[in-house]
Amino acid sequence: TSSTYDYVIIGGGTAGLAVANRLSEDPLVSIVVIEAGPNAEYLPEVFIPGLFGSGQALTTLNWAYSTTPQPMLNNRSLVINAGRVLGGSTTINAMLFPRAGRAQYDAWAELNRDASWGWDALLPFFRRSERVTPPDAFQVDEGGVTYDPEVHGSASDGRVKVGYPNMFFEQSTLWRQAAVAAGFPGEKDLGSGDPHGVGVSPESIDVANYTRCSATCAYYTPFASRPNLNVITNATVTRIVWDIPSPGSYSGKGQRNLRAIAVEFVQTGSNGIESVTVRREAVVSAGTIGTPKVFELSGIGNSSILRAAGIEPVLELPSVGENLADHVHSYVSAFTNASLTFDALLTNPDAISEQLSLWVTNHTGLLTSFPGSLGLPGPSNIFNNTGNFPTLLQEAKANISHFAHLFANGNALLEKGIRAQHEIVLRSYADDVALPLENSLFPGYAGTAADRPQRNYTTIMNVLYAPLSRGRTHITSSDIRTAPVVDPAYYMHPLDAATHAAGISLARKTLITPPMDSIYLGEFEPGSKVRSSKDISNSLRAAIASSDNHVTGTMAMMPKEIGGVVDTKLRVYGIENVRVADASIMPIPVSAHTVGPLRLSSRSLLIRNQSSTVYVIGERVGLFVSSQATFS
Ligand SMILES: Cc1cc2nc3c(=O)[nH]c(=O)nc-3n(C[C@H](O)[C@H](O)[C@H](O)COP(=O)(O)OP(=O)(O)OC[C@H]3O[C@@H](n4cnc5c(N)ncnc54)[C@H](O)[C@@H]3O)c2cc1C
């Protein structure tokens, strides 16, 4: 293998493999992907959709980052999961494949004054990234799937195989009906760009044999024989090597930008540093926590943080690692008299064996898909029904400066950027075009109580998916093996905490609304005694709130003068030939449709989703790079 490549991609995850795939369509360029984890597509925990939790529990495939103790969560440290495997987080995720609403992508465009990141411009990329098998009569009639072919891609050059479950639970249908009865708009395709409504989510599964379709399945395996596409697994990038034109700062006018000339890495089990030469560009796709780490280890970031970690600064870019947002997860679990739930699989080894045998024999049964069915309530309903949201919104508007200052952590430019983000988000709430929350149903227990009564459950997930709080991640050591500090600043904005608590009330309401009430046998968690807003908040802080594994924003796509790190072609400011392609570029988080945590076969799992958007980022970078081999 050559050690010089036109394009070096750091991280073979969701976006990284999409970029590699599209670039390698041109046989005249050479590409190498360097991925820290193994190719694990052969593991049943990966390819059988219903074993989603078991794959995540394989510690060898999961970075499982720990947060700092969170002051607003009674100083609890949470775990943020992320795939450490070829295919990245799509190899261990829950395969849900809806999209966020139009307004949230339009917010990125507005923030960047660049319409190419708005919904209308991104829709062709959503379509191009997927190959959807439309629902059949059973899925429409029995499963309640609503499908709009106008917004989906099904061409043979689409990449991610997407389909609908072939197994439905009665309680999912009842719950969707209850949500509509409670006032939410009715069934619709969750990829339509209109976030108001309840519906069944597509999944990134291949319905030809009901297997997971990860980024590896979509963008690598069918193309592995391309002679110009090289993938090195079990290899962790330690730094990018720069051509430094002259010593000192690179921010001065007329000075030539920094240029990546090589990428260094270590193979698992070896101490020796290896290196590949970058002929044209490097693309960093190491994920929201991994990517800023690679830049900081390479001397790019806030120089005080770098020096404290023993790294000599090369380029001052103080927003690297800042602006981190994560979705916060919680749930209400209730006892149910529904006879078919996922609970047997969580507790009974015989049931697992039986379902495994069904899957192996003819790809049927409970393991064929992820059993969560989704529903999205509109914000006006949530807040009008739960009281004081209009007041909280007013307070948030009045306090914008305070919180922008707090979250910017002394970074004056980023303070402007966070302020601009908050203004857009608060306006979108007031206009009822973006959703701060998601409720969705899991047909079984999905909490963390190992000693719970052995009964059948319904769980309503309640996810805060447009948090205003912003935290950060940074290195503390020059040693690649040291995990970075991760502080998502959960609930630091009071609107986040209040909104999330309101979601619990909303979830409860749908559980007792007809026809859902017909299978409701009382609440297990947080528990019927937890009623007042204060008690609900306390319960979230003490135990129920967890990470939704949905971190974004640490290499934010924003103008440099408001604290951005990359421009709208995802080029890093001040660097000539390096782009970022992964969830870290999302300046404002988008809606995720989430489930978890739950236990399967004694293994805990968390479920999350935003991969459809990350694929779009990868698809776009593929196009940016191939249409513009050098930077303007
Ligand atoms: C448990 C879980 C469940 C989820 N459920 C869903 C869901 O149901 N639906 C959905 O849409 N989204 C879901 N998500 C979220 C979604 O999968 C992620 O947001 C998305 O895949 C992130 O893509 P990425 O390209 O930013 O990073 P990743 O896909 O995580 O890729 C980053 C890659 O870089 C590699 N890497 C990191 N550092 C280095 C280094 N120094 N050297 C070499 N390689 C490195 C990593 O090993 C990894 O392979 C879930 C996530 C998790 C963790």
Question: In this structure, what CATH number is given to the domain that contains residue 572?
Answer: 3.30.560.10
Angle between helices 400-408 and 412-430 (to 10 degrees): 140
Q: Is the CB of 129 inside a 6 Å radius of any atom of ligand 1?
A: no
Cβ neighbour number for residue 361 with a 10 Å cutoff: 9
Give tens-digit pLDDT for 260-309: 999 999 999 998 999 999 999 999 999 999 999 999 999 999 999 999 99
Q: Is the CB of 266 inside a 6 Å radius of any atom of ligand 1?
A: no
Place of tokens 């991925």: 35
> Distance, CA 289 to ligand 1 centroid (Å)?
10
Residue 91 maps to a domain:
yes
Residue 272 maps to a domain:
no
Cβ neighbour number for residue 43 with a 10 Å cutoff: 17
Please, what is the average pLDDT of the chain? Answer: 90
C-alpha dist (Å) from residue 356 to 48, 53, 377, 454? 9, 15, 35, 22
> Distance, CA 67 to ligand 1 centroid (Å)?
17
CB 363 within 8 A of CB 210: yes
- 93: which 2 tokens? 């995720």
- Alpha carbon 388 to its chain's center: 30
Residue 523 maps to a domain:
yes
> Distance, CA 79 to ligand 1 centroid (Å)?
14
Alpha carbons 138 and 124: distance in angstroms, whole number: 29
> Distance, CA 614 to ligand 1 centroid (Å)?
9
What pLDDT is stored for residue 255 in this prediction?
A: 56
Return the residue whose CA atom lies nearest to atom 15 of ligand 1.
609
Widest pairwise Cα distance in the chain: 73
Residue 299 maps to a domain:
no
Q: Residues 583-597: what's their mean pLDDT?
A: 70
List, in sequence order, every beta strand (DSSP E) within 437-515: 437-442, 457-464, 472-474, 485-487
Q: Is the CB of 91 inside a 6 Å radius of any atom of ligand 1?
A: no
What pLDDT is stored for residue 256 in this prediction?
A: 65
Q: Is the CB of 607 inside a 6 Å radius of any atom of ligand 1?
A: yes
Q: Residues 10-20: what's their mean pLDDT?
A: 97
Q: Is the CB of 15 inside a 6 Å radius of any atom of ligand 1?
A: yes
Alpha carbons 108 and 417: distance in angstroms, whole number: 12
More confident residue, 630 or 584: 584
Residue 612 maps to a domain:
yes
Q: Residues 435-453: what's their mean pLDDT?
A: 89
What pLDDT is stored for residue 631 in this prediction?
A: 32
Judged by average pLDDT, the poorest of 166-175, 400-409, 571-580 is: 166-175
- 213: which 2 tokens? 């379709």
Q: Is the CB of 419 inside a 6 Å radius of any atom of ligand 1?
A: no
Is the pLDDT score of 609 beyond 50? no
Is the pLDDT score of 406 beyond 80? yes
pLDDT band at 603 (very low <50, low <70, confident <90, very high): very low
CB 556 within 8 A of CB 370: no
- 139: which 2 tokens? 């899925």
Residue 607 maps to a domain:
yes
Give tens-digit pLDDT for 172-215: 899 989 988 888 887 778 888 888 888 888 999 999 999 999 99
Burial 72-97 (b: 16+ CB within 10 A, else e): bbeebebbbbbbbbbbbbbbbbbbbb
Q: Is the CB of 237 inside a 6 Å radius of any atom of ligand 1?
A: yes
Q: Side chain identity at 159, as an amino acid letter? A: R
What pLDDT is stored for residue 605 in this prediction?
A: 29
pLDDT band at 431 (very low <50, low <70, confident <90, very high): confident
pLDDT band at 427 (very low <50, low <70, confident <90, very high): very high
Is the pLDDT score of 84 beyond 70? yes
> Distance, CA 581 to ligand 1 centroid (Å)?
12
CB 437 within 8 A of CB 499: yes
> Distance, CA 333 to ligand 1 centroid (Å)?
28
Q: Is the CB of 595 inside a 6 Å radius of any atom of ligand 1?
A: no
What pLDDT is stored for residue 448 in this prediction?
A: 85
What pLDDT is stored for residue 623 in this prediction?
A: 82
- 619: which 2 tokens? 């698809």
pLDDT band at 331 (very low <50, low <70, confident <90, very high): very high
Place of tokens 């690679």: 294
> Distance, CA 609 to ligand 1 centroid (Å)?
10
> Distance, CA 439 to ligand 1 centroid (Å)?
23
Alpha carbons 129 and 612: distance in angstroms, whole number: 8
> Distance, CA 413 to ligand 1 centroid (Å)?
29
Give tens-digit pLDDT for 309-327: 999 999 999 999 999 999 9
Is the pLDDT score of 1 beyond 80? no
* Number of independent structural domains in the chain: 1
Q: Is the CB of 37 inside a 6 Å radius of any atom of ligand 1?
A: yes
More confident residue, 137 or 186: 137
Is the pLDDT score of 595 beyond 60? no
Give tens-digit pLDDT for 99-111: 888 999 999 999 9
Alpha carbons 206 and 49: distance in angstroms, whole number: 10
Residue 36 maps to a domain:
no
More confident residue, 460 or 253: 460
Nearest atom (ligand 1) to Cα of 238: 41
Q: Side chain identity at 218, as an amino acid letter? A: A
Q: Residues 450-474: what's their mean pLDDT?
A: 94
Cβ neighbour number for residue 306 with a 10 Å cutoff: 25
Return the residue whose CA atom lies nearest to atom 13 of ligand 1.
609
Give tens-digit pLDDT for 368-389: 998 876 666 655 555 555 567 7
Is the pLDDT score of 238 beyond 90? yes
Residue 527 maps to a domain:
yes
Residue 609's domain spans which residues? Answer: 44-224+324-627
